[in-house]
A and B are shown apart, each in its own frame.
Chain A
Amino acid sequence: MDKLNNEILFSRLKDRFPDTILNTDEPYGLFTIEVDKSHIIEVLEFLKKDEELQFIYLTDITAVHYPERDLSIGVVYHLHSFVNKLRIRLKVFINGGNPEIPSATVLWKGANWMERETYDFFGVRFLDHPDLNRILNMDDMEVFPMRKEYPLEDPNRVDKKDYFFGR
């Protein structure tokens, strides 16, 4: 059998999920796929439990906010297959006004805190998460601070504006 690489991985995923994978990319050699929100757990489960692929390690879950897009919040998963020495990145774009996505805690217990962190900063509600609360910020905070509409500096100050600092 050939050593697993991005092409084989892509063909395996294409066979199994012909309609689910919306987009693929390969920035800096890391295979990236965009998945429909309703199939994300199926795809993750397939990647984790398939005997050839064996993406058993959930490296990270995070999110990114693109305010100008329709589906403005992208949830990003990084998985790692130790035996194949391969990583994969999965992206799910969801509606920023009502960001909901199934929780990956059914597959990995370690997803618990990663998803809590993502909820804390982006407001992504992970459905069926056992304990979806804020983790780093205080519990009575009302905003999701990593979204782009929240400035870094105090908006009431006139001498310290965000555009002095990069963006």
Chain B
Amino acid sequence: MDDRINIMANPITKITNNTPVYTDNDPQEDLITLNLGPTHPATHGVFQNVLQMDGERIVSGVSTIGYIHRAFEKIAEHRPFYQITPLTDRLNYCSSPINNMGWHMTVEKLLQIEMPKRVDYMRVIIMELARITDHIICNGILGVDTGAFSGFLYLMHEREKIYEIYEEICGSRLTTNIGRIGGFERDFNERAFAKIRSFLKRFPAVLEEFAQLFDRNRIFIERTSGVAAVSPEKALEYSWSGPILRATGVDYDVRAQEPYSSYEDFDFDIPVGTNGDVYDRYMVRNEEMRQSMRIIEQALAKLEKEPKGIFHADVPEFYLPPKEKVYNNMEALIYHFKIVMGELETPKSEVYHAVEGANGELGFYLINDGGRSPYRLHFRRPSFINYAMYAPMSSGMLLSDAIINMSSLNVIAGELDA
């Protein structure tokens, strides 16, 4: 019994070997090895954690990741720039438009393409809609994991509406491949704008209803408040970013720190928490959805003032020409061929571009040697870096708290494993 007390007093914080530990699981022994995952209904994705359990309490854990590793960085070294967009879709597939736009902006930064304001605002609308979908998933699932299913259903209905907006703009729903390097493939049509407006009208009421179900709900507060609280120093030590960092009280948001896509034109607040616990993360995400609505409303108002019909920059050597021109216009045919074959004149340089993804700073580090494809492309994936703390922070926690901690970190398996 003395040994057990000692173990509880000094939880093992050092990550141990990345190999599952097998013991004979005799309940009479002090510690039980529990394989949580790789496929477990409570983990929402392919996550494996091998936990050493003392009753209900986790003594230490090891995260085993890489189950859906698809070598995107290697594949990207063999694809022309525009073919890398579909790869970025599959990183954080809950908010793929942000990844797409981040990649387009990285290449535009490399090629020094100046974007028209209207395109910037259209991008802002898409990115903020994507942020709302991602936060809907995260907060909805957090509700499910704490035992409240109905809030999730109310929100999922609205996510469907956002997917219909994506469909109207680019034709697909989950892995959107939205936009092109240099702008969008086509202008937003009237139905898309109508759907965005009707979403803006409906969603605040739904979000308030959802917030009413949870914000002051005693069961929810007791399950989440104080759970997995992280200090700002520790969060920065582990390079956290996104809503979970802001929940600890650090007001770091790439949109404000180094504005891209004309975010400096918008008036929005960056919500921060105080304790860095699950409840604060929930509150930060809810408030971010409200701020996203504010940004979209401003963007719609700004679009009214911009000249109509501009949806891409005037860079024929990098922007794919419309198909009917390819058949009738020689220049368009040449550019089409060059872009598709990747025969672009690109500067030999390197660029790092970060966007505020739905769960943190999504960075693209691109080294270009002037070839048909990137010499090296590295994704700074927020899920991967945020998740590094999960096993060390879980030691000493109850298993049920560790589950909701994982939902509130919003780790997406596709982004974790790239």
Contact = CB atoms under 8 A, between A and B. Distances in A.
**B contact face: mostly helix, strand, loop, or mixed:** loop
Interface string B401-418: 000000000000000011
A134 interface: yes
A28 B74 CA distance: 24
Interface string A101-136: 000000011111110010001000000001101111
Interface residues of B, number: 53
Contacts of A134: 18, 66
A152 B252 contact: no
A89 B378 CA distance: 14
Given A130-B14, A167-B77, A82 B257 contact: yes
Max count, chain B CB within 10 A of own CB: residue among A111, A130, A165: A165
A114 B385 contact: yes
Contact of B237 (A78, A110, A117): A110
B287 interface: no
A135 B388 CA distance: 11
Interface residues of A, number: 43
Contact of A57 (B14, B19, B239, B258): B239
A135 B352 contact: no
Contact of A59 (B77, B361, B388): B361
A78 to B, nearest CB: 6
For the complex of A and B, the 4 pairs showing the least CB-CB separation, nearest first, are A166-B373, A110-B239, A136-B66, A113-B388
Given A30-B352, A113-B384, 13 more contacts: A60-B365, A108-B239, A110-B385, A112-B388, A113-B385, A113-B387, A114-B385, A130-B14, A131-B18, A135-B66, A152-B77, A166-B77, A166-B78
25 contacts: A27-B350, A27-B351, A56-B236, A59-B363, A60-B365, A82-B252, A109-B392, A110-B239, A113-B385, A130-B15, A131-B16, A131-B18, A134-B18, A135-B65, A136-B66, A146-B74, A152-B74, A166-B78, A166-B371, A166-B372, A166-B373, A167-B78, A167-B371, A167-B372, A167-B373
